[in-house]
Chains A and B, each alone.
Chain A
Amino acid sequence: MDDKLIVSSSPHILDDDTTQRIMLDVAIALLPATIAAIFYFKGSAATLILLAVLTAVATEALVQKIMGRPVTINDFSAVVTGLLLGLNIPGSAAWWMPVVGSFVAIAIVKQIFGGVGHNFMNPALAGRIFLTLSWTDRMTAWITPGVDAVSTATPLAALKEAGASVPANVPSLMDTIIGNTGGSLGETSAILLILGGIYLVWRGVISAKVPGIYIGTVAVLTLLYSGFDIQYMLYHVFSGGLMIGAIYMATDYASSPVTPKGRMYFAFGCGLLTTLIRLFGAYPEGVAFSILLMNVASPLIDRYTSPRVFGEVK
């Protein structure tokens, strides 16, 4: 029997959570918002999201085959990237846009840099920015929810026009919370995105601190800017990509710091930049750019926030 005993280094037991399980959890958490997207934006949403996911997975398999790496599509990370990208485009997008976006996200941002864990930017966000910069008109052609989709302005665009107060032409606050408003497919229903976020915190996949600090920073800064107009602040919190960005993208492992303190600075930086872009930048929305900028700063943040080693004498 001796040759059958396995000899390996300790520890000899492992936690149940695996990369696969974590990615699956993120996909599960995004499910309510995905269903809402299909409910509000109908069939076109379903097609676009499906195309994004399928392209992401196919690209991952293809690139890994070409590069001679083991194919790891069963870890669900490509599914998550595809899903996030699909949720980040408008309902009016052409069918080839999610395809191009997912391809760029997986092939260029993720696989060329070494695959899962090595991407220094969030692949889905980088894909979204690539699309926005390449086809700005198409990526900002927002439509109203429903079958007779007509073009509309997002609540954030209306806020930007009006300055530091809530204009009359914005949808009701309730509509922005439940998602019955213009915007990217999956970003509009704040309440369902929060629901998924609670699931992720409960499963231990993310810490509530990152979205909490991110959203909190935006809330405080917009409150100050508007002279304590709570309604104005609430519109900023519940509209645009803040919820999906703060809960699902600023918490991306690979592209954020690993130190507990670093993650908090990262979240604060995201909130600060988002507010600055929204209030003073050329675009009405700044979530995607803010997170990407902070992604790039992550290694630096890590370096300056190394935890004090137990028993370290300084």
Chain B
Amino acid sequence: MKMKFVTFRGGIHPPEAKEATEHLKTEKAVEPTIVVIPMQQHIGAPCEPIVQAGEIVKVGQKIGEAQGFVSAPVHSSVSGIVKAVTDVPVATGNEALAVIIESDGKNEIDPSIKPKGDIEKLQPKEIVDAIKEAGIVGMGGATFPTHVKLSPPPEKNIDTIILNGAECEPYLTTDHRLMLEKPEEIVYGLKAMMKAVGVKKAYIGIENNKPDAIEVMLKAIEKEDEIKVVALQTKYPQGGEKQLIYAVTNKEVPSGGLPMEVGVIVSNVATAAQIALTIKTGMPLIERVATVTGKAIKNPKNILFKIGTPVNKLIEECGGYATTPGKLILGGPMMGNAQHTDEIPAVKGTSGILVFDQEQAKQPNPRNCIRCARCVEICPANLQPLYISENSLANRMEQAENYRALDCIECGSCSYVCPARRPLLPSIRVAKNQIIAKKREQKNNK
């Protein structure tokens, strides 16, 4: 296979650590007895619950109504009885409103679930509406509502869709497996998106550490003239939206802007597969795949689970803990969030459940910055993380802003390479939050 591997400037090469699960077929999780479905599993306004305790619900039935345009409805992933609508601990570390449903094990499907028809016959608006009603969000982990992405303002001239199959986070293998196991679904979902936005050009970007996925996807698009598979250099954060767009199209998304400024929409391969499922069967987003892995997991797996399944149940299904867990991360090790408990529900954005042993969880001891400039060399946004961090720690937020803190994509590469173990990204995040808060305040005062 002769292909040019494209990429972006900067980046790092963390150990991939995908061996444990990359060759394992996706397994279906055991039917959960209880699901806990949070009303907010997306970026945007939380849903309002539309069911009450004691009510009977079916699989795919809407249980939370979206509030506003940037929001996504949630649906029941089981059939059974609503036990409670209450606040529960969720992955953000806080409590949030959720609908708790006890499954009757029958998996009766809601009568509203019907195939949406052939994409050739569907109108663009019908496709976008179907995606919106199905509660589909970016399944790479960012969980931005997909229908919003597919509804660009008319003055933006969108000409390209890029599907993200880079999966540059170490440990995670769900997208990899999906590309091997359901390539036609991905292509079908991509074609639906192309029709929805009216574009004639699409790419599927895959890192070259997944040659089998590249091969399978190339085969799947054999008859598609408008879709190309692009092999990307294996490098973190190759799957970062702006980095991916640059690698594929050579265009830079302007600072502070969205991909649509350069005529591009980026979506994840898993999102595309879900869109295909929704159009073909009418089923909303009620299940997804996560990689359950890490040193402290006995039998790592790629597992298809129903939204709302408690994380500890999924871990149990992977043989439980192999040793005392030290850190529990939802997502990958570079951008995922550490959790203080495993008694939280797995949701639409849960692409990975990564558990470290106690040794791996040890916190480093930060030392003086030695100005080695490795953070400057690898920053994919071309920032100087050491100076943003230094100013942030000294509470000089204006200086931090001058060093362009807001352009940070929070990929964590700087913290990763820092030989002095300095908390670069955490301190840059503080700066970003304070700068944004101040801007908001100034705007409100006007």
Contacts and interface: CB of A to CB of B under 8 A. Distances in A.
B274 interface: no
Contacts of A257: 373
A168 B239 CA distance: 64
A1 B367 contact: no
Contact of A5 (B335, B339, B369): B339
B162 interface: no
Nearest to A4: B324
Contacts of B328: 5
Greatest chain B CB density within 10 A among A75, A307, A308 is at: A307
B368 A117 contact: yes
Interface stretch (A16-24, A53-61, A157-165, A278-286): A16-24
Given A307-B384, A311-B407, A5 B341 contact: yes
Contact of A4 (B326, B404, B429): B326
A311 B327 contact: no
Contacts of B255: 309-313
A22 B367 CA distance: 14
A133 interface: no
Q: A-B pairs with the 7 shortest C-beta distances?
A: A11-B412, A258-B373, A9-B426, A117-B370, A311-B255, A117-B368, A6-B361
A118 B418 CA distance: 16
A268 to B, nearest CB: 17
Contacts, number: 169
Given A8-B338, A11-B416, A117 B369 contact: yes
Given A5-B339, A307-B384, A309-B404, A260 B376 contact: yes
A6 B371 contact: no
B257 interface: yes
28 contacts: A2-B341, A2-B342, A4-B324, A5-B326, A5-B339, A7-B338, A8-B363, A10-B329, A10-B334, A10-B335, A11-B333, A13-B15, A13-B170, A15-B418, A18-B420, A19-B419, A21-B419, A72-B367, A258-B384, A259-B376, A307-B384, A309-B404, A310-B242, A311-B254, A311-B255, A311-B381, A312-B254, A313-B255
Nearest to A18: B419
A14 interface: yes
B46 interface: no
Contact of A19 (B12, B367, B376): B367
B376 A258 contact: yes
A313 B426 CA distance: 27
A114 interface: yes
A114 B338 contact: no
Given A4-B325, A12-B336, A253-B373, 7 more contacts: A6-B361, A13-B360, A14-B364, A15-B417, A18-B419, A77-B370, A253-B372
A21 B254 CA distance: 38
B contacts with A: majority SS: loop
Nearest to A257: B373
A263 B382 CA distance: 16
Contacts of B256: 311
Contacts of A258: 371, 373, 376, 384, 386
Interface residues of B, number: 70
A47 interface: no
A contacts with B: majority SS: loop
Given A253-B370, A309-B255, A311-B242, A9 B382 contact: no
Contacts of A306: 384
Nearest to A207: B377
A254 B419 contact: no
Interface residues of A, number: 43
A258 B388 CA distance: 13
B188 interface: no
A185 B420 CA distance: 31
Given A13-B333, A118-B368, A310 B252 contact: yes
Given A9-B426, A259-B384, A22 B368 contact: no
B333 A12 contact: yes
A9 B425 contact: yes
A7 B339 contact: yes
A5 B329 CA distance: 10
Contacts of A308: 382
Contacts of A17: 417, 419
A116 interface: yes
Contact of A7 (B9, B93, B354, B418): B93
A309 B383 contact: yes
A311 B372 contact: no
A11 B371 contact: no
Interface string A116-136: 111000000000000000000
Interface in A5-53: 5-15, 17-19, 21-22
Interface string B322-350: 00111111000111111111110000000
A2 B418 CA distance: 30
Given A12-B336, A254-B370, A259-B384, A19 B364 contact: no
Contacts of A2: 340-343
A189 B371 CA distance: 29
B338 A5 contact: yes
Interface string B231-268: 00000000000100010000011111100000000000
A115 interface: yes
B142 to A, nearest CB: 14
Contacts of A4: 324-326, 358
Greatest chain B CB density within 10 A among A15, A259, A263, A313 is at: A15
Nearest to B411: A11
A15 B416 CA distance: 6
Contacts of B337: 10
A311 B8 CA distance: 12
A172 B106 CA distance: 93
B434 to A, nearest CB: 15
